[in-house]
Structure 1
Amino acid sequence: MSAAPNYSYSSLANMGPQGRWRRVLFIALIPTLCAFVYYAYGSSYLPSTFKPSQYPYQHNVSLPADDVSMSTVIKALYGPILHPVDAANFTDEDGDTHHLPGEPRFKERLGKRVLVLDIDSRPLTGDGQLMNQELKWKGMRPLSAGMLSHYMYAMIHGYDYKFIRAPDYTDRWGTWVKVPMMKEALKTHDYIVFMDSDVMFHYPHLPLEWLLNYWNMTQDTLAMMSIDPDEPQNYDAKGNRYLNTGFVIAQQSKRTQEMYKAWAECPSENRYTGCSRWKLDWAHEQAAFGNYIRYDFDRPDDIRVLPCVEANGAPEAVNRGGCKGIFVRHFWVDKGLLSKGLADSVMQYFLPRLHQLYHQTASEHIVDAKGYRLKGAELIEMTPEEQEQLKKDQGKNQKDEGF
């Protein structure tokens, strides 16, 4: 058990009107103060017992003192705790440690060489949707939360972000548009991260570079995708499970362009007989990839298959093959959980910083009246003997919390 903090509390005068106004002002200024908490306190954010191997990692970040833009607020919140890209391991929120398989390939940040990509052909301008000029937390559609999390993840790590409003195919299901758009994006960036709008990174402070090291993307890897749950509908004609195309990490190369061309043109049947079935039949482009493309591009490092437990599903789907989405969550069980996922990815980082600020400014707003006893409506200073008795009676007539 850690020792009780040794605060220098303010006097009882703070119970007066001036003290109350100071508290009101403090509450009103919380958002601004949170943005600048790192400027004022630097490395004091975490206790002196903090070890780099703990979750999350913390280090110094330099921020402009006169900038209160949203991008600076995000950098202030996540910058101090970004996980090193070449760290040997990562300990998650449950205390489980994940180790790199060997020497990391990526030791520096990739920055703008990475593109985080959203693709959709729908207008998305309705109430609660992303392209509407007004978006409120209450009434936000779930998929807006997913895409905003992608945008935030790119901002946190300095990657590029693009939303591509794609043209529609006239003869295919709408999800097919992701294939040629990913192909185009790989002409301008070395790495792309495509996510369906019901997918999000669970740890926004964990960089893509670390995951590329952990999942062992080699120089010859074309793409990474997670395997689907072990359920009858997720098997291809050869009896192998589909790879889920809702989360794709792809690496630019001539062979990658060839793969995407073959994938986009699969329904024409110039190369793959029977592929036209997947124009409209479920699982559309995913079934085309699973039944044809992965067997054509099958060199050892071409397609990296990611574990379902790490890059698919969510905790609510753990009974479906253990697909709980440790690093990447795909909310196909309940898309309504996307908003909660976005809130968690902010609040689990915001709350410790707010709590730290609360203690760092304790002398301004915490009043210690424990040296007094109550008699009717009066506060009477206690004798040393009375204070000793108070310690023995501590907790009497009280619940653990509340009244």
Structure 2
Amino acid sequence: MTPLQNLPQSWRRLIFFLPVLVTLILATGFYNGLIPKPPLPKVVFDDPAAGPFHQTCGAGPPPAALDSLPDVIRALWAPLVLPITAPAFTTIDGEKKRLPPPSQLIHTEPLGQRICILDLDNREFADNGDIFSSRLPAWDNLGGPAAGFLSHYLYAMIHGYSYKFIRAPKYADRAPHWAKVVFTREMLKQYDVVVMVDSDAMFATPQVPLEWLLNYWKIGPDALVAMPEDPAGDPNFDARRRVNVNSGFIIAQAGEKTQRLFRDWAECPSETRYPGCAVWKERPFHEQSAFSSHVRYNFLDGYSIDSHPQYIRTIPCHEANGYPEVSGCGCVGQFVRHYWAHKNLTIPEFNHNIMAALTPLLVQAAYKQPGIVEDYRAKVLDGAQILDRRAR
């Protein structure tokens, strides 16, 4: 009698079905927990059917994978980033821009986190597809402002800059646009350079660092603030029929003089220094018109943009304002695009920013590395013959 026959009938049945049971366990995945595997990031969804782009945004710290995202972004763009002292750069529309001679360059080393890219808005942005929604947005639901804000964050991460988003308070007596003046001034107490960008303005060439642009535009240490010109046409003239500057893109440099200039700008509607400025509390173009018609002609105890142009720098409109769809106005946004008339164009612009960088990297990785592409173009096949791979 065999040992198996000495066992009770129930045990003999269990042993008989044991291989089948093990197979079922493996097939259903219950055995997975016993097999050593590399750890995977834990992602918890409030609705398992919702998918990874609709999880609830928690109040706690981000998972480790998101903590490293800025490093991943910077590493991904590193092969494409223009060196700060590169002698020339060709814009999307084919115009070659050249830096001054090396002896005249203002920046030769990165400023890193001493530069702050600043977003500011008092809208809720809590609907589906917005940045403060309880669920992370899918690309198909992304709104125009969200695309703008994300592109600013992307630009900051590519170059190792600081990034801040201010959820601005509301004003009791003026349009919300005025908050950008107050908070740019506040950020200048923490950073050497603050770049305030409207949600409908974007960096058209995110591979170009701000230090290169400061060199190109010759914005030296004496410059307190720089803004692009508006298109030269009505209603973009100030009280003296001079073209307005556009405050949708502001470069401000820290210093006592800058603090005074921004204080005067913020207080302009009180008319303690600038008679007639109160009209710009609510009337377009708000703080922009106040600066253009009043502040730039009388700042730092009587200085004017005409007598001290080194303090207030004006950037050409075609380089830092407008966009290709309004090229008839002369402003195509070669470096910075401002979509003031077609705000949702920030979405395809954001898409272009990313894909313009990823496309050459993908081609390099997929088709330029040895061992991936096998080339049989020199062979002529005879019917269904099998290729001799060694004879290639």
Which residue of structure 1 lines up, in the alignment, with residue 325 of structure 2? Answer: 316
Q: 1:67 Cα shift?
A: 11
Task: Tell me how far 1:362 sits from its aligned partner.
Answer: 6.7
- Aligned residue number for residue 312 of structure 2: 303
Q: Deviations over 1:122-175 (max 9, x none)?
A: 221112211113111101101101110110111111110000111111111111
| Structure 2 letter corresponding to 1:259 | L
CA deviation string 1:334-363 (max 9, x = no partner): 112111111111111101111112214574
How many Å separate the matches in 2 of 1:67 and 1:248? Answer: 29
Structure 2 CA distance for partners of 1:369 and 1:108, relative to 1, 3 Å? closer
Please state whether the residue corresponding to 2:142 is helix, strand or coil: coil
Q: Identical aligned pairs, as a percentage?
A: 42
Q: Does the alignment pair 1:336 with 2:364?
A: no
Rounded Cα–Cα distance in structure 2 between residues aligned with 1:288 and 1:161: 27
The secondary structure found in structure 1 opposite 2:247 is strand
- The superposition leaves residues 91-136 of structure 1 with CA deviations (integer Å, 9 ceiling, x where unpaired) of 2234421112341011100011111000111221112211113111
Find the residue that maps to 1:212 and give its secondary structure: helix
Q: Does the 8 A contact of 1:146 with 1:200 survive in 2?
A: yes
| 1:216-266 CA-partner distances (Å, limit 9, x unpaired) | 112211101000001110011111111000000001111111111111111
Unaligned runs of 5+ in 2: 1-64, 388-392
Contact 2:116 2:161 in 1 (8 A): yes
Equivalent position of 2:13 in the other structure? none
Aligned match of 2:4: none
Matches within 5 A, 1:129-278: 129-132=130-133, 133-278=135-280
Aligned to 2:127: 126
Q: How many residues align?
A: 313
Contact 2:204–2:336 under 8 Å retained in 1: yes
* Structure 1 contact 372–381 (Cα < 8 Å) conserved: no
Shift of 1:307: 0.4
Q: Provide the TM-score with structure 1 as the length reference.
A: 0.74
Task: Write the letter of the residue equivalent to 1:342.
Answer: F
1:137 to 1:169, Cα distance in 2 relative to 1, 3 A: same
| SS of match in other structure, 1:118 | strand
Measured against aligned partners, the alpha-carbon deviations of 1:36-74 in whole angstroms (never above 9, x if no partner) come to: xxxxxxxxxxxxxxxxxxxxxxxxxxxxxx999422331
In the alignment, the residues of structure 2 paired with residue 68 and residue 172 of structure 1 have an alpha-carbon distance, to the nearest angstrom, of 39
Q: Secondary structure at the match of 2:364?
A: helix
| Alpha-carbon separation, structure 1, partners of 2:66 and 2:272 | 56
Cα separation, 1, equivalents of 2:371 and 2:100: 48
- Highest RCO, 1 vs 2 (Cα 8 Å, sep ≥ 6): 1
C-alpha distance in 1, partners of 2:171/2:314?
29
What is the RMSD of the two structures over their aligned residues, measured on CA atoms? 2.1
- Once the two structures are overlaid, the 10-residue window that deviates more, 79-88 or 337-346, is 79-88
Structure 1 residues 197 and 367: CA distance shift in structure 2, 3 A: same
| Structure 1 alignment gaps of length 5 or more | 1-65, 383-403
The structure with more radius of gyration: 2
Partner of 1:379: 384
Alpha-carbon separation, structure 1, partners of 2:247 and 2:369? 48
In the alignment, the residues of structure 1 paired with residue 315 and residue 211 of structure 2 have an alpha-carbon distance, to the nearest angstrom, of 15
The answer on 1:88 being equivalent to 2:108 is no
